[in-house]
Protein backbone atom coordinates (compact mmCIF):
# COMPACT_ATOMS: atom_id res chain seq x y z
CA UNK A 1 0.00 0.00 0.00
CA UNK A 2 1.43 3.32 -1.09
CA UNK A 3 1.43 6.56 0.90
CA UNK A 4 -1.39 7.97 -1.26
CA UNK A 5 -3.64 5.05 -0.43
CA UNK A 6 -2.86 5.44 3.26
CA UNK A 7 -3.70 9.15 3.09
CA UNK A 8 -6.95 8.44 1.24
CA UNK A 9 -7.91 5.78 3.77
CA UNK A 10 -7.10 8.21 6.59
CA UNK A 11 -9.22 10.95 4.99
CA UNK A 12 -12.10 8.53 4.46
CA UNK A 13 -11.95 7.25 8.03
CA UNK A 14 -11.74 10.82 9.34
CA UNK A 15 -14.77 11.85 7.29
CA UNK A 16 -16.74 8.82 8.46
CA UNK A 17 -15.78 9.51 12.08
CA UNK A 18 -17.02 13.11 11.89
CA UNK A 19 -20.24 12.01 10.19
CA UNK A 20 -20.85 9.30 12.79
CA UNK A 21 -20.12 11.78 15.59
CA UNK A 22 -22.60 14.31 14.21
CA UNK A 23 -25.33 11.74 13.59
CA UNK A 24 -24.69 9.95 16.91
CA UNK A 25 -24.90 13.25 18.77
CA UNK A 26 -28.11 14.09 16.88
CA UNK A 27 -29.53 10.63 17.65
CA UNK A 28 -28.73 11.00 21.36
CA UNK A 29 -30.39 14.42 21.42
CA UNK A 30 -33.52 13.07 19.73
CA UNK A 31 -33.63 10.14 22.17
CA UNK A 32 -33.49 12.63 25.05
CA UNK A 33 -36.30 14.63 23.43
CA UNK A 34 -38.42 11.45 23.23
CA UNK A 35 -37.69 10.37 26.83
CA UNK A 36 -38.72 13.60 28.53
CA UNK A 37 -42.44 14.13 28.98
CA UNK A 38 -43.97 17.23 27.43
CA UNK A 39 -45.03 19.86 29.98
CA UNK A 40 -47.22 22.92 29.34
CA UNK A 41 -45.46 26.18 30.14
CA UNK A 42 -48.01 27.02 32.87
CA UNK A 43 -47.26 23.69 34.60
CA UNK A 44 -43.45 24.05 34.76
CA UNK A 45 -41.84 23.54 38.17
CA UNK A 46 -38.70 25.41 39.19
CA UNK A 47 -35.53 23.38 38.59
CA UNK A 48 -37.24 20.60 36.64
CA UNK A 49 -35.89 19.10 33.44
CA UNK A 50 -38.65 19.77 30.93
CA UNK A 51 -39.70 19.41 27.32
CA UNK A 52 -41.67 22.39 26.07
CA UNK A 53 -43.48 22.37 22.73
CA UNK A 54 -44.65 25.59 21.15
CA UNK A 55 -44.15 28.30 18.58
CA UNK A 56 -41.09 30.52 18.36
CA UNK A 57 -42.29 34.00 19.31
CA UNK A 58 -40.40 37.22 19.90
CA UNK A 59 -36.70 37.50 19.21
CA UNK A 60 -34.44 39.68 21.33
CA UNK A 61 -31.73 40.10 18.64
CA UNK A 62 -32.30 37.88 15.57
CA UNK A 63 -29.52 36.05 13.77
CA UNK A 64 -28.93 35.92 10.04
CA UNK A 65 -27.97 32.51 8.69
CA UNK A 66 -24.52 32.79 7.09
CA UNK A 67 -25.27 31.07 3.80
CA UNK A 68 -28.90 31.81 2.93
CA UNK A 69 -29.21 35.12 4.74
CA UNK A 70 -32.43 34.05 6.50
CA UNK A 71 -33.44 35.78 9.73
CA UNK A 72 -33.65 33.12 12.43
CA UNK A 73 -33.24 32.23 16.12
CA UNK A 74 -30.98 29.20 15.47
CA UNK A 75 -28.97 27.87 12.56
CA UNK A 76 -26.71 24.90 11.90
CA UNK A 77 -24.46 24.54 8.86
CA UNK A 78 -21.90 21.88 7.93
CA UNK A 79 -19.22 21.95 5.26
CA UNK A 80 -17.24 19.39 3.22
CA UNK A 81 -14.43 19.56 0.68
CA UNK A 82 -13.60 17.16 -2.09
CA UNK A 83 -10.07 15.88 -1.49
CA UNK A 84 -7.86 13.85 -3.80
CA UNK A 85 -5.49 11.21 -2.51
CA UNK A 86 -2.01 10.82 -4.01
CA UNK A 87 -3.22 7.96 -6.26
CA UNK A 88 -6.09 9.99 -7.65
CA UNK A 89 -9.05 8.83 -5.57
CA UNK A 90 -11.60 11.44 -4.57
CA UNK A 91 -13.71 11.69 -1.43
CA UNK A 92 -15.73 14.23 0.53
CA UNK A 93 -14.09 15.23 3.82
CA UNK A 94 -15.83 17.13 6.60
CA UNK A 95 -14.12 20.45 7.27
CA UNK A 96 -16.40 21.73 9.99
CA UNK A 97 -19.78 22.88 11.12
CA UNK A 98 -21.23 25.84 12.97
CA UNK A 99 -24.32 26.48 15.04
CA UNK A 100 -25.54 29.62 16.74
CA UNK A 101 -28.65 30.69 18.62
CA UNK A 102 -30.07 33.91 20.04
CA UNK A 103 -32.51 34.57 22.88
CA UNK A 104 -36.18 34.12 21.96
CA UNK A 105 -39.57 33.30 23.42
CA UNK A 106 -41.47 30.04 23.08
CA UNK A 107 -45.26 30.22 23.29
CA UNK A 108 -47.86 27.55 23.91
CA UNK A 109 -51.58 27.87 24.73
CA UNK A 110 -50.79 28.30 28.45
CA UNK A 111 -47.95 30.82 28.49
CA UNK A 112 -44.60 32.12 27.29
CA UNK A 113 -41.10 30.90 28.15
CA UNK A 114 -37.81 32.72 27.60
CA UNK A 115 -35.18 30.60 25.84
CA UNK A 116 -31.59 31.79 26.21
CA UNK A 117 -29.58 31.05 23.07
CA UNK A 118 -26.16 30.64 24.69
CA UNK A 119 -25.25 26.96 24.62
CA UNK A 120 -28.42 25.89 22.80
CA UNK A 121 -27.83 22.89 20.54
CA UNK A 122 -29.95 21.59 17.72
CA UNK A 123 -31.26 18.21 16.62
CA UNK A 124 -32.97 19.39 13.48
CA UNK A 125 -35.06 17.45 10.99
CA UNK A 126 -32.66 16.32 8.21
CA UNK A 127 -35.25 17.26 5.57
CA UNK A 128 -35.02 20.94 6.60
CA UNK A 129 -31.35 21.20 5.56
CA UNK A 130 -30.86 22.88 2.21
CA UNK A 131 -27.73 22.84 0.05
CA UNK A 132 -25.35 25.75 0.38
CA UNK A 133 -24.46 27.44 -2.90
CA UNK A 134 -20.75 27.32 -3.61
CA UNK A 135 -18.82 28.78 -6.51
CA UNK A 136 -16.23 26.04 -5.98
CA UNK A 137 -17.41 22.57 -7.12
CA UNK A 138 -15.03 20.95 -4.64
CA UNK A 139 -16.90 22.45 -1.68
CA UNK A 140 -20.40 21.69 -0.44
CA UNK A 141 -22.50 21.99 2.65
CA UNK A 142 -26.01 22.15 4.04
CA UNK A 143 -27.79 24.56 6.36
CA UNK A 144 -30.98 24.49 8.44
CA UNK A 145 -32.63 27.25 10.44
CA UNK A 146 -35.31 27.72 13.10
CA UNK A 147 -37.30 30.90 12.59
CA UNK A 148 -40.05 32.95 14.19
CA UNK A 149 -43.44 31.25 13.90
CA UNK A 150 -41.97 27.77 13.62
CA UNK A 151 -43.21 24.96 15.89
CA UNK A 152 -40.37 23.43 17.94
CA UNK A 153 -39.67 21.30 20.99
CA UNK A 154 -37.02 22.32 23.53
CA UNK A 155 -35.59 20.38 26.44
CA UNK A 156 -33.64 21.93 29.26
CA UNK A 157 -33.65 22.89 32.93
CA UNK A 158 -36.49 25.30 33.75
CA UNK A 159 -36.00 28.16 36.13
CA UNK A 160 -38.83 30.31 37.45
CA UNK A 161 -37.81 33.94 37.71
CA UNK A 162 -39.54 37.11 38.72
CA UNK A 163 -41.13 38.71 35.69
CA UNK A 164 -39.69 42.10 36.60
CA UNK A 165 -36.29 40.71 37.59
CA UNK A 166 -36.63 41.07 41.36
CA UNK A 167 -37.06 38.15 43.74
CA UNK A 168 -39.87 39.75 45.74
CA UNK A 169 -42.01 40.57 42.71
CA UNK A 170 -42.32 36.87 41.86
CA UNK A 171 -44.65 36.42 44.78
CA UNK A 172 -46.26 39.87 45.13
CA UNK A 173 -46.57 41.54 41.75
CA UNK A 174 -47.39 38.73 39.40
CA UNK A 175 -46.46 35.38 37.97
CA UNK A 176 -42.98 34.09 37.49
CA UNK A 177 -41.60 33.66 34.00
CA UNK A 178 -40.15 30.39 32.77
CA UNK A 179 -36.55 30.53 31.56
CA UNK A 180 -34.56 27.76 29.83
CA UNK A 181 -30.80 28.27 29.79
CA UNK A 182 -27.60 26.25 29.76
CA UNK A 183 -27.10 24.36 33.00
CA UNK A 184 -24.01 22.57 34.30
CA UNK A 185 -25.61 19.15 33.76
CA UNK A 186 -28.18 19.77 30.99
CA UNK A 187 -27.52 21.30 27.60
CA UNK A 188 -30.70 22.79 26.13
CA UNK A 189 -31.68 21.20 22.80
CA UNK A 190 -34.09 22.51 20.14
CA UNK A 191 -35.70 20.47 17.38
CA UNK A 192 -38.03 21.23 14.51
CA UNK A 193 -38.59 17.52 13.83
CA UNK A 194 -42.35 17.03 13.38
CA UNK A 195 -42.13 13.59 15.03
CA UNK A 196 -41.01 15.29 18.26
CA UNK A 197 -43.13 18.44 18.19
* Structural domain spans, the chain: 3-191
Residue 3 has pLDDT above 50, yes or no: yes
Whether the CB-CB separation of 2 and 86 falls below 8 Å is answered with: yes
What's the whole-model pTM score?
Answer: 0.78
CB neighbour class for 36 (10 Å; exposed up to 12, middle 13-18, buried from 19): middle
- What would the pLDDT profile of 154-178 be if each residue is shown by its tens digit? 999 999 998 765 444 434 455 789 9
Whether the CB-CB separation of 115 and 103 falls below 8 Å is answered with: yes
Whether the CB-CB separation of 115 and 188 falls below 8 Å is answered with: yes
Amino acid sequence: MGPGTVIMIGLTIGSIAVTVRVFTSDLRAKQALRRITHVKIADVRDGARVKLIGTVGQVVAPLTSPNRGDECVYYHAWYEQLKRGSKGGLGWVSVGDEQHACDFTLEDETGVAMIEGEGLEGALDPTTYVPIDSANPSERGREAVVGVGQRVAIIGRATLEAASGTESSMYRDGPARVVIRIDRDITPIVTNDAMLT
